[in-house]
Structure 1
Amino acid sequence: MAKKLSDAEIQKKANEIRREVIRMVHAAGCGHPGGPLGLADIYAVLFFDILKHKPKQPDWDGRDRLLISNGHVSAVRYAAMALSGYFPVEELLQFRQLGSRLQGHPSTRYLPAVENSSGSLGQGLSNAVGLALGAKQQKKNYRVYVAMSDGECGEGMTWEAAQAAVHHRAPVIAFLDNNGIQIDGYTKDVLDLGDLEKKFASFGWKTRREDGHDIKAIRSAFEDSLIYDAGPQMIVFDTVLGKGVSFMEDQPGWHGKAPNDELAEKALAEIASAMAG
């Protein structure tokens, strides 16, 4: 069994993910850097501590299933996959290129261990609920996780799935990137969603809310989720879009824009400084 990483070691992995996100999006000249930077801590905990997976056997039947509903944050997943050994880190620079396995939105057609093709927002929870119910019916012992975003909760399908998950007691573990930003601006201005933790709780979900940049809190939330399998769970993580790069933090303009050479160099320098400190 691999040695369990300390919180500090997980934090280092998170900053390595941030570094690769900047390199990928800069090389592509397009993409979404803000969300992936804000999710790096969560994905570091998942890939290096929580998920049951075998990077050298990506189709292993016993693997936990991780679905991504907000597929535009694909860079964070690809970076975490490469750094955990699914494929060479150098391949990340093929992100969003013609013929690459690393499409702008993950596709089951191109890359093993991608559990759902995404792009249209709001569909991931429905996919995950169905997959979790199938695993329950077949008495499989893997867990089903689904990554979601606050902005996509404006889609009605999300709430249909939320209701069905409770009715059928789907043992799905959802986690939500609550950064308050979407492509058209601040979520409260586009469509005020209120308190999403309370909304899911009102449907009957087991919920909790944590700081999405606190490694210890993230680990605790996911570890506790493994104890419960009587129904759906939602972890709302409060995050900062662009976390780790000062000029991107909490700026809607960096939801979906690649940095130029000068800004990419500045971003990488800030991340390197955090890693050295």
Structure 2
Amino acid sequence: MKRIVPIIWLLCCLLVCAAPGCATQHRLADGTSRGITRVGHSIQVGAFREVKNAERLTARLQEKGIEAFYFRKDDGLYAVRFGDFPSREAARQEARKLVKERLLTFFFIASPREQVLKQGQRTEIHKPSAPVSVKKPSGDMGGVAARTAERFVGIPYRWGGDTVVEGMDCSGFVRAVYNLCGVNIPRTSREQFRVGEGVGRADLQDGDLVFFGSSEESINHVGIYVGAGKFVHAPRRGEEIRVSALDETYFAKRFMGGRRYF
């Protein structure tokens, strides 16, 4: 009998861990989730007038195995950002190393949680492929993430793909937006779906991620919810980032739920 009790206890533990709920990772006390971390110091480079120049630098960095991305700043110029360093000095040392390798010339060290958009600032949509209402940030990080995502609309999506991580097209875009908001999320859409707080369609808020696929085990697309039933996403590598509606037939049939990380 004494030997049976431990065996029963072990079987119960295995059954509990095998339950579907174990795949979902909940928020930590500081507001983040397991698998989600705060971004440290980053290296930012460039003030390019043409997006193709930012693309070239991003490609060169990716060829070196650096997960870099470009984005449009408040002044309309494009910059490239990469890295997640524990201190300003660590980021500066890496940047100086890249300068010696002639990959960089000038650089700027971005502090943790530094946001692209400031409170109360209006967002200018760049070459929108669909009508988007311009809204002020809601004051929380979800609103900042949504407004940051809108800033990418119309920009050709060329980072990610097979240069650093296979299949990073759509998930690489949302990862870049969250990085600019000071949060690191997993690389792939499937991994992103497994963390954060589950959100139903009726409860979606600005900045939530929306996921699509044939089933919860086959997630293959992700975007950032921006309100009014719409989301911003990267359709595929090489195409412009755009706004789509959850009600569109293709997405309505494949919607698997939302996740909240802030």
Structure 2-normalised TM-score?
0.25
Bigger relative CO (Cα 8 Å, ≥ 6 apart): 1
> Which of the two has higher C-alpha Rg?
2
TM-score (norm 1): 0.24
